Every structure is written in structure tokens, then in C-alpha cells.
Chain A
Amino acid sequence: MQTPAPVDYARATSVDHALQLLEQHGEDARVIAGGHSLIPMMRLRIASPTTLIDLNDLDELKGIRVEGNEIVIGAMTRHAEVLDSAILAEHYPIFREAEKLIADPVVRNRGTVGGSMCQADPSEDLSAVGSALGGTVVIRSKSGSRTVPIREFHFGPYMTQVADGEILTEVRFPIRPGAGSAYEKVERRVGDWPVASAGVFVVVRDGVVSDCGIGLTAVGAEHFSAPGAEEFLVGKAPTEENLAQAAAIAADSCSPVSDQRGPADYKKHLAQELTLRALRRAVAASQGA
């Protein structure tokens, strides 16, 4: 039996209240969202926060909406809601494709977007999606809000820009008319972390790629991204040859490690192949849009 160490508990009634509780309970207090990463870590005693501040009542952090030319996803939005969102299905099918492969339906009822982002697992699927789409995250503290580009959000495995006394409140993605997007993942069994995943968006205009984003996870890609491959592809025709070249550049920029999910060279191969497959489908979707 694995039981967390003794911990205090407080339930926040608003973001301001949560920030106040964070300050009050000191640097070893942690906010808890769906708890599906933090509670297992507490049971293994990898994490031993002194106080948990429960954000689950904060309706102000839930939901997906369009604001101007951006899609805003509240940090406490559950994976299940992302999967079923009509707004995201319309603008970025990449979310639905990725979410269908994140954990399992019961876990998706609890796990949240903000929790996944802040856990910052180096194999997190949503981090690849976020990096592909290149949005921003909004972080709040008692002194106000700050906005951070999503590609600067992660410092490294399990490390983010969210500092003591701060809470991630929302993630924002620009709407790109005519964009196609896709997500490709190889996992060992249903609901597992990826061996490798690639997510992309592409806008094809007048026969050339006018904009694109490539996100990769579980393969040691810096900031879950492949900027060199994006630079290569923008301005070029989306031919099979060019897509393959971009995928090769993306894979080259990865530094996967061998572990129980597979050897490094296999992961590198997957990074290339999955990027190529995702690019093909995103190009087709953009051309059909």
C-alpha cells in the first residue's frame, strides 16, 4: 500500500484565494488540479508537499472559448472536454487526435490541461501540441498576470516558468484560417506515454507552405519543438520530397535517450516517420480547407 505523507489541505474558492493560500502556506505548498500526476508522486514520496491547495472548484479556470483571433483553454479544463470540444475540432483537429491517445477515458475525466503542462513530463503529449501551435501561457501571481510564449514555458524535464506563488491560469493559441493539423503517436499499449509523438500544423497558400509548426515529445526535442524544420519548410511547395526533408531535419534535432520504451535510434526513426506522416495529413487538410 502506498500512502502519501501527511499533508494539509485547503480548497480555493477563486484564483485570488488560491494565490493567497499559496502565500500563506509557504514554499512547500502545491496546487492540485486533477491530481493524476501529483497524487502518484506523493504516494511514491517523490513529492511531499506540506499543503495541497485544491483548484477543482475554480470554474473561472474551466472551459474553452474563442477570444478575438485566439482560442483560450482554461488551465482546469479536463482532457475529456478538450477531446469533445467543437471549437478545437473546427480549428485544430490535432487536439482531438492527441487527446484520444492521452491516458484513458476515466483518467481524462479528471486530468487537466494546466496540470499536464505544469507537470512538464518530457513525454507529455499536450506539450508537443502546444509547441506545434506556438501559443502562449498566462501565469498569475498576487502582483498580476504575465504571458509567456509556450516554447519558453519549459526549462527542462519537470521544470517550468511557474514560480513559487504563481499559478498557470490559461493557454492561448492563435487561430490560423486554412490551417491543417495532425498528431501521430506510437505507444506500447493503450493509454501509455508515447515512445515518440509528433504534432504539426501547416498552412498552404498559393501552393506553398506559408506557415507551419512542428512539435515533438518523448524524443528530447528542445522545447518540444523543431524550429530548423519549420524554417526549411516555410516558403516551399509541400511536395513529398520537401516534407521528407523537413522530417529528417526535425529528427536530426532530437536527442532521445534509450529507456524501457525503446532504444534511442528507434525513437529517432519514429520522430522522422511520425513527423512526415503528420505533415502529409496536415498539408492535405490545409489544401482541402
Chain B
Amino acid sequence: MDVTINVNGTDYIRDIEPRMLLVHFIREELGLRGTHWGCDTSNCGTCVVWVDDEPVKSCTMLAVMADGHRVKTVEGLEGPDGLDPIQQGFIECHGLQCGFCTPGMMMTGRWLIDKNPDISEEEIREGISGQICRCTGYKNIVEAIRWAAEHPKGSEVTA
């Protein structure tokens, strides 16, 4: 069936099977490979994207359910002025090792900061509790999200 899904500000019209999962629509139909596909069981969280401004696990949503909605992926974080602070934070704090969990972590991290700019370490840990980093790098991930909270969009970012 025909769907129109707005991904990172662009409307994409595609003819897809209703059984196609959103993560595969993003990766295979649109070629946006920043969103990763991990456990297949909504446990690991590497496939997290935003649907209408809220993070969801895109392996557990059908693409047809996003018809007419807005999706934002990790590719949509960067703005005209450069990297989003959440991306910069992962650079500054060495928030990744292998990088597999990173797109999901950044999408949830950005949402957590938008909801609560003064978010605590404990709240960040709870916020990313549905996402798994197998490099055991949670400490640096939490620091990266904190870094982004302390360097809001528009503030001077040092590379």
C-alpha cells in the first residue's frame, strides 16, 4: 500500500507491504543506515527513532503505522550550524566504542534533554534503561548526554 512518511523533513512516498517494520523502511527503502537494527525484540534500543517527537523502537512498529507521521532519525540531528550538541557530547566524552548502540542512545538522549534540560545522572540512567551498550560504556554515554545538557543548542560549541 502507498504511504507518505516524512523523515527528517522530507516526504517519502513508497508502495510497501503492511508487514514491513519501520526500521526496515528506514534502512532498506530510504537507505538511511544510521538507524541500526539489533535484537529484533524491542529490548536493545539501537533502532530508536522519533515518531512525532517521541522516541520509539522502530523494530516494533510497522512502517504503515507511521503513514502521515513525522519520523526523525540520527541523520536528522545535524542542523545547518553543524552537529547537534548530543552528537558533540558523544565526541567530547568518548560516548562510544563500537558505535552500534550510539544512534539509539543519541535519539533518546536528545529527547531526555528536551524534556528536562537540567536532567540528573540518575534520570539519564533511567531514561536509557531500555537500551543496551555491550561495550559497557554507560558511564561515558551518561556523561555525553550530560555534556549535551550543559551545552544547549545555540551555545558555543568547541570541537
Choose one: A5, A39, A104, A191; the contact of B62 (CB below 8 Å): A39
User: Is A191 within 8 A of B61, CB to CB?
Assistant: no
Which of B4-57 touch A at CB < 8 Å?
Answer: 17-19, 21, 40-43, 45, 48, 54-57
Residues from chain B with Cβ under 8 Å of A105 in the complex:
108, 126-127, 129-130
A9: B residues at CB distance < 8 A:
1, 18, 62, 64
A66 within 8 A of B: no
State whether B61 touches A190 (Cβ < 8 A): no
Chain A contacts of B135 at CB under 8 A?
A: none
> In whole angstroms, how far apart are the Cα atoms of A52 and B67 in the complex?
14
The number of chain B residues with a CB under 8 A from chain A is: 27
B129 contacts which of A3, A7, A109, A191 (Cβ < 8 Å)? A191
User: Which of B41, B45, B65, B67 is the most central at the interface, judged by chain A CB atoms within 10 Å of its CB?
Assistant: B65
Q: In the complex the two chains form, is A109's CB within 8 Å of B62's CB?
A: no
Q: Cβ of B140 < 8 Å from any Cβ of A?
A: no
Residues of chain A within 8 A (CB-CB) of B17 are 6
Cβ of A152 within 8 Å of any chain B Cβ, yes or no, is no
Contacts A6-B19, A109-B54; is A40 near B131 (CB within 8 Å)? no
Q: Are A40 and B41 within 8 A (Cβ)?
A: yes
| B60/A8 in contact, CB under 8 A | no
* Tally of chain A residues near chain B (CB < 8 A): 29
Q: Could you say which of B19, B48, B126 contacts A4, with CB atoms under 8 Å apart? A: B19
Residues B130 and A107 in contact, CB atoms below 8 Å apart: yes
Q: Mark A101-121, 1 if CB is under 8 A from B, else 0.
A: 001111101100000000000
- Contact between A106 and B18, CB atoms less than 8 A apart: no
Shortest distance between the CB of B113 and any CB in chain A (Å): 14
- Please state if B40 and A190 are interface contacts (CB–CB under 8 Å): no
Q: Determine if A36 and B129 form an interchain contact, defined as CB atoms under 8 angstroms apart.
A: no
For the residues of A in contact with B, the DSSP-based class is loop
Residues of chain B lying within 8 A (CB to CB) of residue A56: 65
Nearest residue, chain B, Cβ from A105: B127
Chain B positions within 8 Å of A42 at CB level: 19
Q: At the interface, yes or no: A252 with Cβ under 8 Å from chain B? A: no
| A10-42 contact mask (Cβ, 8 Å, vs B): 1 or 0 | 010000000000000000000010011001101
Min distance, Cβ B89 to any Cβ of chain A, angstroms: 19
Contact B57 A107 (CB under 8 A): yes
B65 touches A35 (CB 8 A): yes
Would you give the 0/1 interface string for B52-86, flagging 1 where the beta carbon is closer than 8 Å to chain A?
A: 00111100111011010000000000000000000
Cα(A10)–Cα(B158), bound, Å: 49
Q: Compute how far the CA of A103 lies from the CA of B19 in the bound complex, rounded to whole angstroms.
A: 24
Which of B21, B60, B108, B126 contacts A36 (CB under 8 A)?
A: B60
The answer to whether B60 and A110 have CB atoms under 8 Å apart is: yes
- B11 CB to closest chain A CB (Å) equals 18
Give A83 to B78 CA distance when docked, in angstroms. Answer: 31
- The answer to whether B42 touches A40 (Cβ under 8 A) is yes
Looking across the interface, which residue of chain A has its beta carbon closest to that of B125?
Answer: A190
A3 engages B48 (CB within 8 Å): no
**Interchain CB contact (< 8 A) of A103 among B48, B55, B130:** B130
What are some 14 contacts across the A-B interface (CB < 8 A)? A9-B1, A35-B61, A104-B130, A105-B129, A106-B57, A106-B131, A107-B57, A107-B130, A109-B56, A110-B56, A110-B60, A110-B61, A191-B43, A191-B129
Show the binding face of B for A, using Cβ within 8 Å.
Answer: 1, 17-19, 21, 40-43, 45, 48, 54-57, 60-62, 64-65, 67, 108, 126-127, 129-131
> What 5 pairs across the A-B complex have the smallest Cβ distances?
A104-B130, A9-B18, A4-B19, A190-B129, A109-B54
Beyond A9-B18, A36-B57, A105-B129, 9 additional pairs, beta carbon < 8 A? A2-B40, A7-B18, A32-B65, A36-B60, A40-B41, A106-B57, A106-B108, A110-B60, A110-B61
